[in-house]
Amino acid sequence: MGLDADRLKAGGLEVIETEEQLQEALQRLAAGTGPVAVDAERASGYRYSERAYLVQLYRRGSGTLLIDPIATGSLARLQDVIGDEEWIFHAATQDLTCLRELDLDPSLIFDTELAARLLGYERVGLGAVIERLLGITLEKAHSAADWSTRPLPETWLAYAALDVELLIDVRDQLNQELQDADKLDAAREEFADILTRELGAKKPDAWRRIGGISRLRSPRALAVARELWLSRDEAARSTDTAPGRLFPDRALAAVATAMPRSRGELARLKEFTGRASRTQLDRWWAAIERGLTTEDLPPQAPRDPERMPHHRQWEQRAPEADRRLKLAREFLVAHAESLQMPVENLLTPELLRRAAWKPRQPVSAEAVAEHLRELGARAWQTSEVAQGIAVAFVEADQLTSAPTVEGS
């Protein structure tokens, strides 16, 4: 029998959904001690919104709380009780946006997934980390469930409760490992940085993230793809349905590739799949007509004279920058290995590319550190990498500068 089944047999899985239950929960939380483990369940893949449909909390001395935010609404009163405590998450960036919508916003966090990455764990999923540290195997059967379902099945509640009930013990062990590895200060910087990030904001031209759009070469096909995406997004938002459940990206890209010239031709396109592909055919055909007739044709890529080209093009278009990038990357890979952490946690590839594209002159460790900090690197990262990157940049510039021979 798995641990989820054991938890189900133990009971205590009542969902807090009334004012009376919430008041009692607040009293329990206030009576507890120490940090608070927090998690939230959404309905990604089912709903358009990223709202929380269940909020789980665990605190020593308080027990487990399973709150239905659809029934309770704002949880600002809960914030008043635990707002100054350390909140423990596994992958905090996944939950902070939906929690903030409920007026829950921590000022201090510990992220067990990020801690595991900094410690060089090969597997950093919650189940893998719990198994490694506590020797307990979880049955991760409901991670992709539709949490907007009501009432929530007890087996789902057992799964949700375990996500927080073991998190404090995991945090304590990871905290000790970070301290032993002299990485605790770095981890604290990373945790604090998470709280300053803008999360959940949609990027401009979000339609350009359609899977398979890179195969569309004509501006007209891109216009059709854009109009289909915008129409699907509007329909998804109005019905609170995940866009991919109306029709998936691959079907959208197939339509833009085929460029059907009539409603009937669209209906006969077998690659146009999805549960709403035929039931809302008029909507989709109207979008295609707009794409076929608009004079606002999108370019293959957004026009930006300052835009840095893709790094795979650097060897031909910017050999000096390419050499800087490659030598600096060699240093980072070796240094990350010596620190026993993924290279992307030591410094994200995008920051390295931006630093290599137009380095501050004259090149020095101080100039590299200042540039990286302006780009968003943390202090611990710049202290680890600035000197090595500066050396790599100088070496690259020496290798790519051709000697001048007098009289040649």
Q: What is the pLDDT of residues 37-62, one digit of tens each?
A: 999 999 999 999 999 999 999 999 99
> Given a cut of 80, is residue 354 above it in pLDDT?
yes
* Cα(46)–Cα(143) distance, integer angstroms: 13
Say if residue 74's pLDDT is above 90. yes
Q: Are strands 87-89 and 36-41 parallel, antiparallel or unpaired?
A: parallel
Sorted by sequence, the CB contacts under 8 Å of residue 376 that are 6+ apart come out as 351
Long-range contact set of residues 107-113: C-beta below 8 Å, sequence gap at least 24: 107/83, 107/195, 108/84, 108/191, 109/191, 109/194, 109/195, 110/35, 110/86, 110/171, 110/174, 110/175, 110/191, 111/190, 111/191, 111/194, 112/88, 112/167, 112/170, 112/171, 112/174, 113/89
Residue 196 CA, chain-centre distance (Å), reads 14
As a 3-state breakdown, the chain gives helix, strand, coil percent values, each rounded to 5, of 55, 5, 40
| 406/56 Cα distance (integer angstroms) | 74
Residues 400 and 319: beta-carbon distance below 8 Å = yes
Report the percent of the chain where pLDDT is more than 70: 93
| Lookup: tokens for 173 | 């062990």
- Band the pLDDT of 205: cuts 50, 70, 90: confident
43 class by beta-carbon count within 10 Å (0-12 exposed, 13-18 middle, 19+ buried):
buried
Position 404 pLDDT exceeds 60: no
Give tens-digit pLDDT for 215-258. 898 999 999 999 999 999 999 999 999 999 999 999 999 999 99
Pair 76, 32: CB distance under 8 Å: no
Mean pLDDT in residue range 203-212: 87
Convert the pLDDT of each residue in 363-384 to its tens digit. 999 999 999 999 999 999 999 9
Q: Which helix (H) or strand (E) holds 65?
A: strand 63-67
Residues 66 and 72: their CA atoms lie apart, in Å, by 12
- The listed CATH number (3.10.450.50, 3.30.420.10, 3.30.1330.30, 1.10.287.620) that belongs to domain 3-196: 3.30.420.10
How high is the pLDDT of residue 143? Answer: 73
Please give the biggest Cα pair distance in the chain: 92
Q: What is the pLDDT of residue 12?
A: 61
Question: Which carries the bigger pLDDT value, residue 344 or residue 405?
Answer: 344
Residue 172 has pLDDT above 70, yes or no: yes
For 206-293, the fitting CATH number among 3.30.390.30, 3.40.1710.10, 1.10.150.80, 3.30.360.10 is 1.10.150.80
Domain spans, the chain: 3-196, 206-293, 311-401
Same fold, 206-293 and 311-401: yes
Q: What are the pLDDT digits (tens) for 283-342?
A: 999 999 999 999 999 987 665 556 788 898 999 999 999 999 999 999 999 999 999 999
Could you read off the pLDDT of 144-161 as tens digits, one per residue?
899 999 999 999 999 999
Asked if pLDDT for residue 107 goes beyond 90, the answer is yes
Q: Can you give the pLDDT at residue 11? A: 45
* Pair type for strands 87-89 and 109-111: parallel
Please name the residues in contact with 351: beta carbons below 8 A apart, sequence gap of 6 or more. Answer: 372, 375, 376, 377
Residue 282 clears pLDDT 50, i.e. is over it: yes
Cross-strand bridge partners of residue 64: 58
How does residue 401 score in pLDDT terms, banded at 50, 70 and 90?
low
Tell me how far apart the alpha carbons of residues 3 and 262 are, in angstroms, rounded to a whole number: 56
Q: What percent of the chain stands above pLDDT 90? A: 83
Q: Identify the pLDDT of residue 403.
A: 56
The position carrying tokens 């001395």 is: 61
| Residue 7 pLDDT > 60 | no
d(CA 64, CA 276): 40
Which CATH number is associated with domain 311-401? 1.10.150.80
Report CA dihedral (99, 44, 250, 201) to the nearest 10 degrees.
Answer: -10
